[in-house]
Amino acid sequence: MSGYEARFRVWRGDEHGGELRDFTVAVNEGEVVLDIVHRLQATQAPDLAVRWNCKAGKCGSCSAEVNGRPRLMCMTRMSVFDRAETVTITPLRAFPVIRDLVTDVSFNYEKARGIPAFVPPPELAPGEYRMFQRDVDRSQEFRKCIECFLCQDTCHVVRDHEENKRAFAGPRFLMRVAELDMHPLDAAERSGLDRRRTAQDEHGLGYCNITKCCTEVCPEGIRITDNALIPLKERVVDRRYDPLVWLGSKIKRRSS
Ligand code: SF4
Ligand code: SF4
Ligand code: FES
């Protein structure tokens, strides 16, 4: 297959506003969208702002929306588009634009800071931890996350509702709470931290209506909804409606 000229529409602007601009750029066989953005910078738009690092789908920096779908530009082959199609590249919609394709994703860092870390079991020294392989596998899946925030961008709870951002941590961080809550060695509860209560009351788990859009865009193929969000919801419900747990918490509250 030979090279060709493709039509691109790229959003240019900053926090005050902007517009889509049209370009025609050469495309070679095997190239990805990020290659084209780099060629655009090299030949026609040297001041075009774009964030990237690895060009290997591992750093999570080159997230943008390509034809309206949140994607990693370095992992999106040009061959998925029809040659006659105009490829439109816009910044992540859920986060404020800094310039062109670069957005301010600090919302995500703030949410990350709100989740207390793993609490080591006090009776075990590092090296004495023992876990079933299935528990290890579960954490491993969640830890494949490259923090590209595509799931955060696509989730409708915040995508069109800026006002929900305060109360909702988003799929990536609810997944983090789920990972810690399901960790067999996490001693949070013994130290007085109820991760399930915080998931519901502080991180907005109730806003999630398990549409699975986050799972569909995850470049690491993490089954965010099925393996993290739904199990976390079930664990919250178990805690709330299990009559023994309810009775136990009543007694505990009365005795304290
Ligand atoms: S499953 Fe939940 S967290 Fe994921 S996109 Fe849908 S509402 Fe958002
Ligand atoms: S869970 Fe997937 S989509 Fe979300 S930030 Fe991590 S790698 Fe990206
Ligand atoms: S440049 Fe690192 S994920 Fe795309």
Least confident of 33-42, 72-81, 222-231, 234-243: 234-243
Asked if 90 contacts 37 with a C-beta cutoff of 8 angstroms, the reply is no
Residues 85 and 58 in one domain: yes
80: tokens are: 């998925």
- Ligand 2: atom nearest CA of 63 is 8
Where b means 16+ CB within 10 Å and e means fewer, 89-121 reads bbbbbbbebebbbbbebebbeebeeebeeebee
Q: Measured from the CB, is residue 213 less than 6 Å from ligand 1? A: yes
- Ligand 3: atom nearest CA of 60 is 3
Ligand nearest, relative to CA of residue 147: 2
Q: What pLDDT shows up at residue 173?
A: 98
Residues 99 and 128 in one domain: no
Residues 94 and 114 in one domain: no
Q: Ligand 2 centroid vs 185 CA: distance in angstroms?
A: 24
Residue 205 has pLDDT above 60, yes or no: yes
Q: What pLDDT shows up at residue 37?
A: 98
Residues 87 and 124 in one domain: no
Ligand nearest, relative to CA of residue 212: 1
pTM of the predicted model as reported, rounded to 2 decimal places: 0.92
pLDDT band (50, 70, 90) for residue 256: very low
Number of structural domains, the chain?
2
Ligand nearest, relative to CA of residue 50: 3
Residues 176 and 249 in one domain: yes
Rounded to whole angstroms, how far apart are CA atoms 111 and 100?
25
Task: Render pLDDT for 4-13 as a digit per residue (tens, 0 to 9).
Answer: 999 999 999 9
Radius of gyration of the chain from its Cα atoms, rounded to whole angstroms? 22
> What residue's CA is closest to ligand 1, atom 7?
208
Residues 32 and 124 in one domain: no
- Beta strands 4-14 and 86-90 are parallel
Q: Is the alpha carbon torsion for 196, 202, 207, 211 positive or negative?
A: negative
- Ligand 3 binding site (Cβ under 6 Å of any ligand atom): 52-55, 57-62, 72, 74
